[in-house]
Amino acid sequence: MIVARRSQLVDVTWRGRLAAVVLALLATVVAGALSPAPAHGQAADDSPSTAPTPAATPDGEGEDRGDTNDTQGDVPTVRMARATWDTGWFQAEVYRQLLNRIGYRVEGPTTMENADFFADVASGDVDLWANGWFPLHQSLLSPGSRAVGVQVDDGARTGYFADSGSADEFGLTSLADLADPDVAARFDVDGNGLADLYGCNVEWACAPQVDHHIEVFGLGTTVEQVQADYAALMTEVIQRQRDGQPVLLYAFTPHWILAELPPGEALAWLEVPGADLPDQPDLTDADTALSGLDGCVRDPCQTGFPPNDIRAVANDDFLDANPSVRRLLEVVELPLADIQAQNDLMYRGQGSEEDIREQASGWIEDHASLVRDWVDSAAPDATPVTDGSGDGVVGGEPLRVVVRTLEPFVLYEQRSYSGYSVELADAIAARLGREVEVYGVNSVAKQLDDVARGVADIAVAAVSITSDREEHVDFSLPVFQTGLTILVPRESGDGLFERARDVGAVIFGSGLPWWILAFVVVLLLTAHAIWWLEHRDNPDFPSAYRHGIWDSFWWATVTVTTVGYGDKTPKGRRGQVFAVVWMIVGYFLFASFTASITSSLAINELRGSIAGPGDLTGNAVATLANSPAESWLVGEGIGPVSFGSMDEVYAALDEGEVDAVVFDAPVLQYRAARDSSVQTVGSPFDTVRYGIAIGDDEDELREQVNRALLELIESGAYDQLNTRWFGDLGD
């Protein structure tokens, strides 16, 4: 099983660098030992302390806070997350700064997918976030966690929209109107005959709801949901609308899309036939009929979705141990209009981490009296944690990550990148307090060139550490260790049908058809020659051309195949001489033809006999150019057939141009697990180490990345990531 161990991150090449990082961590540990820090609001031990730390009494109340937090060890910590939709990051930043004001240090916030957060908050691996939508997220909430407070009451509204021009032209008022193919064709962007409904990210809770509506309202043959990064999709929607092109979309508030394209002006609401959501069986039409919506033909408007409360979600044990945090979460309310205004600023270019911090700080200053009441009700005696003491999102500029598609390390689906390496980059960036900007190129060479020129900060996606590459870029500690393996066509059965199929594949999958055609032409020429020599005086070869040429062709065929029935024989001297020559020439001609078929069948049989590296010699072996696999094959004296992409490599194997593929084990095993026509053989061999490529002069970034990797190992997140992506692959 290809599961990278912790020891795989250690390599003698990096001994010096690793030692430096370890020494730094050791210094931190020693410093922490001098001032022991309580975990998540638990009381410290009997070690000397300048003031009591936040701690719950047995009944969960009565925490006692001193007014000095002058050592990092005395500051309790909140592990905070935030959602993947950046329009919720403003609220997360407001909460982070409020937590600082009641004396808590904040780790993160770490960006997480919905399912990951709700699982982790229930298990206690993360403490809270501010981005819960209810009832949308109700099905994700599990024992061990709960929603707290109501940040926005009934303000988060969702539904379907079409551009006003299309709505007016077609009288379009309901999603059900798209059952008409002529109406749906109006919104067909990719030309496949289906209306393109710009929808949700694949991981969001709204995605299955949209798919459910398409199914239950009978739109499966006319409408499809387009899924990708939602912000990118909405940017495309705005551009299409401004270009006068039709748009069909799912949208929600708060979000900048409905500020840029206001309903009632640029967009029209589309009603749905009724309330029907897969995860809310008790929903009624009254729950989803909303009043006062601009751009809807009726009031109330049947949107198909109930309004959502935006609420914080936190771990039960954490809340019980930290009542001041619970009280804060219970009282915070943010006006929907203020969130929407900030979202609009993000769309207009003020959406960096620094911008969001400043916007949150400005909002808190503008509402100083209200915030003071919140803080006093939660922890009146708290000593605020300054920005310097906190551990919020820092770093400002996004981490620019260049990737290339190489499954399973990087996949490109639904207009977005995913995969093992992308998730690893996300985890590292979260530790650095930075966003991630991922873009793709077509080759490792381009990846490394972009890093060397400073266009990208790091390169990931199974980038092998080699001495040649080290001359141009630097590398992190190794993040994955594996070997090479062999991919071959899956062996067919031994039955009569399979054997006949193999023979047919050999004959028609090679140059043999041309040999057969040439052989037939020679037989025809021979038939004409013997007929011309014998048809005047020999009744075995009739004078009539139509009958005579067929009898002559029969004679030429049975003679060359050494069957020689003797039913037709030359009588004249010239015919007999020609027959002798034809017998001799035909013997060698037919023998060569037979040998060609036999050798082709033998080669085809040998293709299924590759069981390990020792069997590769004498076979055509494909691999990726400029890869460790290519170097290994050259070193073994096996001249590889090198291609520029793995798609070309796989195509060559599928078409029978090569007998086997040699490449990195997890890549080929992932392919074999999803393609029943191929299989990996033998155990992995040789050694390949992947690293994160970093600019040669980016020493500080390299140390930050290495530290983040070590933290991921120590937390167990690294092993979880490896198990999730490679735990189901074969040995």
Of 466, 471, 446, 470, whose CA–CA distance to 456 is shortest? 446
Evaluated on CA atoms 36, 41, 45, 46, the torsion sign reads positive
Residues 6+ apart with CB under 8 A from 325: 41, 78, 99, 102, 104, 128, 314, 318, 319, 378
Residue 129, CA distances (Å) to 108, 206, 313 in order: 10, 19, 6
Residue with tokens 């015919």: 575
3-state secondary structure of 389: coil
Task: Give kind and range of the element (H or E) at residue 429.
Answer: helix 420-432
What does the alpha-carbon distance between residue 456 and residue 450 come to, in Å, rounded to a whole number?
A: 6
pLDDT computed for residue 704 by the predictor: 93
What does the alpha-carbon distance between residue 321 and residue 59 come to, in Å, rounded to a whole number?
A: 9
What does the alpha-carbon distance between residue 458 and residue 447 come to, in Å, rounded to a whole number?
A: 9
Q: In 532-587, at which residue ranges do the beta strands (DSSP E only) sit?
A: none
β-pair type (399-404, 458-459): parallel
* Average pLDDT along the chain, 731 residues, taken 10 residues at a time: 33 40 39 37 32 32 36 75 91 96 92 93 97 94 96 89 96 96 95 95 92 96 93 90 95 92 96 93 93 94 95 97 97 95 85 85 94 94 65 60 89 82 90 86 83 92 89 91 90 56 59 76 84 81 81 80 68 82 78 70 59 87 88 89 86 91 90 88 88 93 93 85 71 40
What does the alpha-carbon distance between residue 266 and residue 251 come to, in Å, rounded to a whole number?
A: 13
Q: Which amino acid is at 161?
A: F
DSSP-assigned beta bridge partners for residue 622 = 641, 661
Q: Which amino acid is at 575?
A: G
Chain-centroid distance of CA 569 in Å reads: 74
Of 176, 268, 174, whose CA–CA distance to 216 is shortest? 176
pLDDT computed for residue 577 by the predictor: 85
R_g over Cα of the chain:
36
Q: Where are the alpha helices (DSSP H) in 206-254?
A: 206-216, 230-242
Burial of 283 (0-12, 13-18, 19+ CB in 10 A): middle
Of 83, 84, 89, whose CA–CA distance to 346 is shortest? 89
pLDDT computed for residue 499 by the predictor: 57
Of 715, 6, 121, 112, whose CA–CA distance to 429 is shortest? 112
Q: Which amino acid is at 77?
A: T
pLDDT computed for residue 275 by the predictor: 94
What does the alpha-carbon distance between residue 89 and residue 86 come to, in Å, rounded to a whole number?
A: 5
Query: Could you give the domains of the chain?
Result: 35-145+316-378 (3.40.190.10), 158-306 (3.40.190.100), 503-606 (1.10.287.70), 609-690 (3.40.190.10)
Contact 233, 183 (CB under 8 A): no
pLDDT computed for residue 502 by the predictor: 58
Contact 116, 299 (CB under 8 A): no
Q: Following CA atoms 433, 434, 440, 443 in sequence, which dihedral angle do they give, to the nearest 10 degrees?
A: -60
DSSP-assigned beta bridge partners for residue 311 = 132
What does the alpha-carbon distance between residue 617 and residue 640 come to, in Å, rounded to a whole number?
A: 10
Exposure string for 211-249, b = 16+ CB within 10 A, e = fewer:
bebbeebebeebbbbbbbbbbebbebbbebbeeeebbbb
Tally of CB atoms within 10 A around 730: 12
pLDDT computed for residue 728 by the predictor: 52
Tokens describing residue 490: 């899956």
DSSP-assigned beta bridge partners for residue 486 = 662, 681
Residues 6+ apart with CB under 8 A from 545: 531
What does the alpha-carbon distance between residue 23 and residue 26 come to, in Å, rounded to a whole number?
A: 5
3-state secondary structure of 68: coil
Contact 483, 686 (CB under 8 A): yes
3-state secondary structure of 65: coil
